[in-house]
A and B are shown apart, each in its own frame.
Chain A
């Protein structure tokens, strides 16, 4: 490149150079296999720093990670249905459900991804269409200066001592949905019952209104208020966000309520008709494996789905982890949001 810039190129040399540049990608492709993975923009740092180098070395190939939003990934898959260029996709479960409906995914099998056998129950969905690899968990975030004893139960969000000091996420946000189920659990319902019939949950939530500082749609705003002490509790709060703020020095921490914590949806799947299918299944298999998950759980403040990886710090070994039925959520969410707007209004 430097030589190119120094020498004044003649027209002919430019033509020759351009031709070589155009021809190059196919030459490269012939030499090294290339795998395109679509995922979330926020995942780019850990994918490129930890996953990609390990995988490229082991399989002698090149991995390109395209970070964007889940719905954009879905659109890319729809547009290229006859000629996919991405092989693997990392998306949230609710979007995976849409991809399955469109027939865009190639199911995982234990033969193609042997690490599936070592996953915790509930980590694969819709007959293996996709699997969860790492899951941020949802607990209660609290300001350490204002709250001396870490909250031990979801019931503390409803405690009168926190009048006007509690923030919850909107149902519009994925991390906000479990508040409805947690409220149902507090009335004595099972998780299944709390998800299917949300009426008791909504009635319980109405009693939270006196404690509410606000309901957020923008996560950074909520944490800003928590760190400054205007808010004392945020629940449900996402480990990947809260613990990263804590690691950055914010006076906050995340508690795991005794009833259990909720797992956030983060799935991985192979795209149907993808280039390099063996490599694609190998990539998924690696992300489901104990070795890579063990390396990733810490930096991403997430739960591993492989049985062999211990639970992260701050979560007791016996803490219950709830997996949400995202198909049920997809079917009912709009009706829930309608009721939420009415019941939770100021």
Chain B
């Protein structure tokens, strides 16, 4: 079968052919980029924090009429209240372990600062988020220690919220260790946090721990974190609690009740929307943190589905029309000896030609759109694999859409040739 008659026929419908080609091209360009956005968001949503997230929950609370925290006596008082809370949480029947910690990955409450290797260094070597808490942090959060040692009870300190106290020892995440000491010998080295002196010594490295914020301004240090074995003493406190396996819900109910029983003059919200509540399972924290990414992925998915449906239906509609228009010619061809298969092939080849032109143009548009998005929205470069898969999908969509009308065309009886329009 030669292409010549098909091309000749297409020339008769120049405008229609151009429109459908353009439609396929635009569809390819948009779908490729939308799917690329989806895959990026899905990757982001599934980034591990480094924590053992199952059975973990966070309790934040605020004391009413708490000591000011401005002098040592009131700081000590706040610390005693905090230790008492942790003790209550540990005693609960459904709780495996608990620790005071000022924030958790993804929770949004970020405290970060510059890290220097020398005291007089002008600009910092790296930026990192700080976690202040009990010495059992590594254990309770399920972090993986890959070098050095864990904290012990003797490392424990506590500090007022607005005090400038430097912890003697810290544990850092591998990402931060690599940023500060590319040779992989971070353990035992000294670092200066926030221009403070004296320095702190790195005693251990954990494989991975994310910062509390996923905001775009913090993306350059997303996994640079420092664990500081010092409880933060203020009129508010936060606890990470690990429930016994399968007892998460029960533990989340028990915890506020037990804390209120010990001291009712505090704020713990357990009902309402996520923003209102101060007790969250880690699964909720994760879902909330990535809600915008999840939404964007769904939105792009919906748009892709609509686009492919519209284009598919458009091809069906247009081809049906052409078939209807050419019934007489098809009849003549059949009368002259063309088989049903020949007619089917004719329309399939015609669609392949149109879709082929469409995807070539579309591939160029897709890359162009990606470049524009990179420039406007600091998006990443799209791998060409997306375009190749997109081309394949659209060619298949075209063939799928053309099949029914083409089959109908092939069923046209040769007798049509004798009928007038």
Asked if A and B bind, the verdict is: no
